[in-house]
Structure 1
């Protein structure tokens, strides 16, 4: 493992570990994946063990560092970085399984090098499975259960766990590259994707984060403390429903999505492009205004 790319403070000794990854940005609609992995790490008492070298994987004009004031006087720079966390041997995750977490912004540069380094780290730590959590914008209503799709490129996992091979074709993120690298290395991997309403892209979705964790828990047969997240999900539903109810046009649009959802069921969501989503919403609202005179 090349230390130019990865700085480890220590190498944890874990039992049957799983590596869980979530990247903010393109792969993390409504922050569902990053909220889910943070909740999981907190539930299992994970502690920081290292980081990827920012200089190697980020374009700082695209993903800018942040200036922070300390005590209102000292200015400190926070650089974007992908951080590694791990459970301890004495506090293994439920079911006796250890876990390593990788979180941070989606890298801008050297995706193949980054993904190879992740796979090398997984091999060195004895990781049995790589799991990525992601969320995408889709034409689904907030008032219906969150659909989560579990995909894999590993034939044994597809057959043994009843997963689906991904049928997606088009632009991909770092998770797509990472899963391809895992498949080439013979490392089992699973990706979970939650569908969140495209008309709420900037509102952190606790329901989607909760749905991701429930799917993850069911697949691995482990327990996760989600009481706080469940309460946040209930508050999210109440607040969003109240906001939608105050906008007649948006109420009508959500009703149309509900009818479509109920007719086709919660299976594989329709994943149009961002332009298609914007065009559909604009067309709907334009037609509503015409009908209203």
Structure 2
């Protein structure tokens, strides 16, 4: 029988906390617009923090599929960017302590990893776990971003609508953590931000903002968001510039707006995950954006 506590190492000074929130996101699973990665990355860049525990990535990761970047200089190796899956302690703008777990999604030992995290949650007295990520949807960026909430108890996401019925999808370590720890009686929930499908592969700061706003509403944590708002404003301006320069893109976005408005008004009942035959696919829209950017770069080069 494997001991789950062998999967992590605690820092020398373990904090004494009272019902802290634990925010977590793992790189590697679906995260349209980089919603979860940007959200937690922003918090780590804006707030002071310290490591509470680190997980054994040698056991959890497949290095052949996640090769670390190494630097070679002339005749020798000089550095390696090692992977890190770490739990950190930070404080929000009001001084309230909370925890952040970030790093690559484990490739193996998911069940033992969930059990190990459960022992940490119990030891640190975590009151609620919250995960964040983005999912691609057939929606326009000119409309409010939707969010699908999910949790181990219905009360955790009461009042939060869902665009889904009963579906089967590929699993993730984050979802398994919510499922297993929820079954043990821990409060675990998550927010999936609906990111325009044509922006799914780009960084979309507005999605990270929506995710953190949802966390604030459900936990009361307050975050410094000015930098993220500025990034979202810049990104929106760049998108507007691209669209205004292309009649094809403008027409496609207007079509998405009409579809979204009809859905919101209740005159259509199709799932926004599906794309109608008359609408361009996410790949087609993304290709148009890439072609526009490439043409603009060439013009600037000339």
Range into which the TM-score falls when normalised by the shorter chain: 0.7 to 0.9
Q: Of 17, 20, 23, which aligns to 1:14? A: 17
Q: Deviations over 1:141-176 (max 9, x none)?
A: 122221122211214435xx4446874522222221
Work out the CA distance in 1 between the residues paired with 2:174 and 2:6.
Answer: 22
Work out the CA distance in 1 between the residues paired with 2:16 and 2:22.
Answer: 13
Aligned ranges for residues 73-222 of structure 1 at < 5 Å?
75-87=78-90, 92-93=91-92, 97-158=96-157, 161-163=158-160, 167-169=165-167, 170-222=169-221
Gaps of 5+ in 1: 286-293
Distance 1:144 1:213, change over 3 A: same
Partner secondary structure for residue 4 of structure 1: helix
**How does the TM-score come out when normalised to structure 2?**
0.80
Distance 1:147 1:269, change over 3 A: farther
Q: Deviations over 1:39-80 (max 9, x none)?
A: 23444422222321111111112222111468x975222232
Q: Of 44, 55, 64, which aligns to 2:58? A: 55
Per-residue deviation, 1:201: 2.7
Distance 1:210 1:269, change over 3 A: farther
* Number of residue pairs the alignment of both structures matches: 275
Partner secondary structure for residue 265 of structure 1: helix
Distance 1:253 1:36, change over 3 A: same
Q: Which residue of 2 aligns with 1:4?
A: 6
Contact 2:88 2:100 in 1 (8 A): yes
2:242 equivalent to 1:240: no
Per-residue deviation, 1:111: 1.4
Contact 1:54 1:79 in 2 (8 A): no
Work out the CA distance in 1 between the residues paired with 2:34 and 2:142.
Answer: 18
> CA RMSD, aligned part only?
3.0
Per-residue deviation, 1:193: 0.8
Work out the CA distance in 1 between the residues paired with 2:257 and 2:78.
Answer: 49
Partner secondary structure for residue 47 of structure 1: strand
Work out the CA distance in 1 between the residues paired with 2:246 and 2:126.
Answer: 49
Work out the CA distance in 2 between the residues paired with 1:44 and 1:21.
Answer: 16
Partner secondary structure for residue 85 of structure 1: strand
2:34 equivalent to 1:31: yes
Partner secondary structure for residue 238 of structure 1: helix
Q: Which residue of 1 aligns with 2:256?
A: 257
Contact 1:16 1:127 in 2 (8 A): yes
Work out the CA distance in 1 between the residues paired with 2:76 and 2:245.
Answer: 43
**How does the TM-score come out when normalised to structure 1?**
0.83
Partner secondary structure for residue 15 of structure 2: coil
Work out the CA distance in 1 between the residues paired with 2:189 and 2:238.
Answer: 33
Q: Of 257, 269, 272, which aligns to 1:270? A: 272
